Chains A and B, each alone.
Chain A
Amino acid sequence: GENVEQHPSTLSVQEGDSAVIKCTYSDSASNYFPWYKQELGKRPQLIIDIRSNVGEKKDQRIAVTLNKTAKHFSLHITETQPEDSAVYFCAASKDHASGGSYIPTFGRGTSLIVHP
């Protein structure tokens, strides 16, 4: 089955700095990669996703890049703010055409701390 590794487990940055979280996956057939943000005691929220037919996607201060050959994808947050502090999870899954049904495999999470 799919195996998703996520690094680092903890990331501490100063407000205004950039933060990068990296994930690798093992199943080359995976083609959908969402990122979730989970604040303490709250639900995970989808913040951005990317499909394997594109290499990069951006939404304001967040961006995700995908390298299919190397089987890794990364979350980039620029101009970090204290409210970005949360746990971020990456995930990988594949659609029906690829033999899956979008059942995600999650990374272990990265605790991002943004210091004011």
Chain B
Amino acid sequence: GAVVSQHPSWVICKSGTSVKIECRSLDFQATTMFWYRQFPKQSLMLMATSNEGSKATYEQGVEKDKFLINHASLTLSTLTVTSAHPEDSSFYICSARGLGRGEQYFGPGTRLTVT
């Protein structure tokens, strides 16, 4: 149980284009989903927290107009990187958590490369 999928696993896009990443909880209802960014050999940097049906809460320094997060259902959240630039290249990981639960389960991550 507690499986989280993420799609795509990797994507290459040109500077200025937008990229959408999907995060799905496959066998449980994810009332909360988190989006992280991870640089090589570094820790997980929380970008935003989203609760189903409400607006995402962004961490300080994360541009909400650039990183659009939608959590329209209890099993799906999306992260759209708008007008991507090379500095947005990174490993993006989502995680999902059930109602009232502390443990969160991570997706496999999406490697984004902006050329």
Contacts and interface: CB of A to CB of B under 8 A. Distances in A.
Nearest to A49: B103
A89 B106 CA distance: 13
Given A44-B44, A102-B104, A107-B43, 19 more contacts: A36-B106, A41-B109, A43-B108, A46-B103, A46-B104, A49-B102, A95-B100, A95-B102, A96-B100, A101-B32, A102-B32, A102-B97, A102-B102, A103-B34, A103-B49, A104-B104, A108-B42, A108-B43, A109-B42
B74 interface: no
Interface of B: 4, 32, 34, 41-44, 46, 49, 93, 97, 100-109
Contact of B102 (A34, A36, A44, A111): A34
B44 A43 contact: no
Contact of B44 (A34, A45, A46, A89): A89
A93 interface: yes
A19 B40 CA distance: 23
A106 interface: yes
A85 B103 CA distance: 23
